[in-house]
Chains A and B, each alone.
Chain A
């Protein structure tokens, strides 16, 4: 929208969302490009620009000689109204090109409740929403990201999905597209999709037929084209040190959600928390080497002017050489006024010591995630953290000078009882008591954040029934009554939103019509509470004769074929089922990085291995 007119930009909030020109933005001459790709993010600029995956792809694609990648974010509702009034198409930030004039438009499936924004962006780009309605002139619409492990609700809108890590795959996609275009696009859309389907990690939904039983469950998903595998396995990068990392990330003018250097120290997590989809779909664990990380930090500081580095991963304390890394980074960069932040710390006093090291001067808040209120519940989810661990950690934190701690929990977990919900409040008060013991004061502050569990595909809990809205709301009310204390600030998630997230997380292709109807009824930015309209969603389900409870509130039998059965993340169903049974009998499964292999299947299926510098040393 670089060419957008002044009148419109003067009327909307935060017009800099739409005008680009940030430091490190890349512009390439379109006439020299063979593959023109759009990285489209279905949320506002400040959220999308923070996404590490897109930062990586922007960098990798634009490093290709004949490929250009440009960005577009969901226009906020005021800008949407302006575009519609003026009948202007959605355009890219870099060159102001309408999306319909590019070759490939890729969407990030970061979150189920941003799917309506994908439809809305296609519509604003004046591109037909349904894949079957798009002709030879229209761009290919592709999608990837964490929610892609059940792509089915978007199957009718998307030409192909990228399953897994795209660093290597995306350049193969660009090359194949360029070759096909150079040759005069032989065979048209169908042929390019067939060529894409031959790549490992590409899923072309139109080539798969889904049949259903009379009760609505899936009977089978079978490829109708010989180019397609029965199960599309995800792609991974085996050695993170060997792939490009965005050392020249865009430095936005606006303050974005993660407005700092994001240094991905490793990928994957094998702690095996049974509720956590990320813990399964990103396996195996692969660490970057210390040497590589230090080199990346210097380059990124030089190229951005940022002075804060976030060491990101699913569980930063699990980086095998974290202590050494933090110490070295501090020694090298603190004289440059650079600070380090460590998100997602584990609950132990070691982590508190590390936090102390990185936050030498300013003690901002510290967050711990016990996830559940009782030991029994934590055993069910394989959290591997005891009340003593938490007590030790908060004691260390309070002794080191922190006075504000945040605890993160979930309700609606499988096999949850009332005592487990009450346990959350009990734990909160225990933490406050420890504060008083340590400091002799009663001015501790505690934030208790409670989200509602949503069962996700490719996890041991993919079979379970999700709590109904009513059940969740009752548990929330119970906590409201138990957490009435001026020292505690309690926040929770909208039960209706989590419920719908659950529907689309484990939904099938038939939900496309619901999604389309909800969009027609005006749903967009559903993840933003001020724009979430549950009654419109209810109407969208009713209009299509589908029942949301079918997707969420039903325990699925072991033999049921999941809508995502033909998508593989390397972890076997047999392993997930074993883990589910272990959950019900409250049995612990150790982290394979330090304990025995639990035979999840990832390493043999993907011909890959764990990269752990601590273990190899």
Chain B
């Protein structure tokens, strides 16, 4: 039996990493005493799969995880047991019981949405900011050098950016909405979009202090946006 769960990652756990979150979830599942399915092999691990990793410092109202149980249980009972064991800031908002073997979350989820609350280094007019966003979206290519512990890599970010909107502009901060594609060739992080906006389009953003929230993980098919709870193939 498989359960697909939609959950949140809120303020108390904002700064934990994806690995931390996965460990916290596993321990909650064990405390809930659910009959977890285990993998074969020398070092058996529980069969749990996430849709997409969330960065340290980012909250979310829309994360997804598939959990496999080795015995069938009434889903509502299993969920109740799990809810009581989740640390503050992790909440289950919806779930589906999956009868057949569904496609992995990672395979079906192909877009993410964020709100970005970004302090400004200096006041900027709303029109100016809109023009900068528009210019970025008009670009055919956004060359970006990504630095990771493994080294640096230059890539084009433009194909990953679906939408970028100005939601609110105040004197000292702006609120943006961003939608990105998640592909088998990778994706773009919200901070990277902010970095490009600042460095290449002169937007006076302090991306290091941005408050980022993921509000959407979805499946985009033929221009229709579906919830991962409704997509199994």
Contacts and interface: CB of A to CB of B under 8 A. Distances in A.
B87 A21 contact: yes
Contact of A16 (B17, B44, B88): B17
A306 interface: yes
A360 to B, nearest CB: 10
Contacts of A594: none
Contacts of A251: 24, 27
Contact of A11 (B21, B38, B208, B211): B208
B23 interface: yes
Interface string A276-319: 00000000000000000000000001111111000000000000
Contact of A21 (B27, B43, B85, B89): B89
Interface stretch (A2-10, A29-37, A158-166, A524-532): A2-10
B44 to A, nearest CB: 6
B13 A21 contact: yes
Contacts of A303: 31
A361 B27 CA distance: 22
Nearest to B211: A6
A493 B31 CA distance: 41
B130 interface: no
B31 A304 contact: yes
Contacts of B211: 6
Contact-residue bracket for chain B: 20 to 34
B57 A253 contact: no
User: Interface centre among B15, B27, B31, B210, by most A CB within 10 Å?
Assistant: B15
B30 interface: yes
Contacts of B14: 9, 19
A362 B42 CA distance: 6
Contacts of B19: 255
B43 A362 contact: yes
Contacts of A305: 26-31, 85
B15 A15 contact: yes
B12 interface: yes
Contacts of A19: 12, 14-15
A23 B15 CA distance: 15
A362 to B, nearest CB: 5
A473 interface: no
Contacts of A254: 16, 20
Interface in A244-290: 251, 253-255
B56 interface: yes
B75 interface: no
A387 interface: no
Given A10-B57, A19-B15, A305-B85, A253 B30 contact: no
Contacts of B16: 16, 253-254
Contact of A10 (B13, B38, B42, B208): B208
Contact of A361 (B23, B31, B43, B209): B43
Interface string B69-105: 0000000000000000101110000000000000000
A482 B100 CA distance: 62
Nearest to A7: B209
A119 B88 CA distance: 34
A10 B27 contact: no
Given A19-B14, A21-B12, A337-B44, A10 B87 contact: no
Interface residues of A, number: 26
Contacts of A10: 57, 208-210
Nearest to A22: B87
B27 A23 contact: yes
Given A6-B211, A10-B209, A253 B42 contact: no
Contact of B209 (A6, A21, A22, A362): A6
A329 B51 CA distance: 37
Contacts of B42: 361-362
A254 B15 CA distance: 10
A449 to B, nearest CB: 25
A305 B24 CA distance: 9
Contact of A15 (B28, B29, B57, B85): B57
A171 B29 CA distance: 35
A253 B13 CA distance: 9
A264 B160 CA distance: 53
A15 B56 contact: yes
Nearest to B209: A7
A21 to B, nearest CB: 4
Contacts of B57: 6, 9-10, 15
Interface in A39-67: none
Interface in A303-346: 303-307, 337
A606 to B, nearest CB: 40
Contacts of A337: 38, 44
Interface string B203-221: 0000011110000000000
A44 to B, nearest CB: 15
Interface string A368-398: 0000000000000000000000000000000
A99 B80 CA distance: 39
A14 to B, nearest CB: 8
Contacts of B23: 253, 255
Contact of A23 (B24, B33, B208): B24
A503 to B, nearest CB: 38
A21 B44 CA distance: 29
Interface in B180-223: 208-211
A319 B20 CA distance: 35
Contact of A253 (B24, B33, B43): B24
A10 B55 CA distance: 11
B20 A16 contact: yes
A77 to B, nearest CB: 18
Contacts of A306: 27, 30
A19 B44 CA distance: 31
B31 A253 contact: no
A530 to B, nearest CB: 17
B135 to A, nearest CB: 27
A304 to B, nearest CB: 7
B181 to A, nearest CB: 25
Nearest to B210: A10
B30 to A, nearest CB: 4
A255 B89 CA distance: 19
B65 to A, nearest CB: 16
Contacts of B26: 305
Q: Which 10 A-B pairs have the closest CB atoms?
A: A305-B27, A15-B15, A305-B30, A21-B12, A305-B31, A253-B20, A7-B209, A253-B16, A16-B15, A16-B16
Interface of B: 12-17, 19-21, 23-24, 26-31, 33, 38, 42-44, 56-57, 85, 87-89, 208-211
5 contacts: A10-B208, A18-B15, A255-B20, A304-B27, A305-B26
Given A15-B15, A253-B20, 11 more contacts: A7-B208, A9-B14, A16-B15, A16-B56, A21-B88, A23-B24, A255-B19, A305-B85, A306-B27, A337-B38, A361-B42
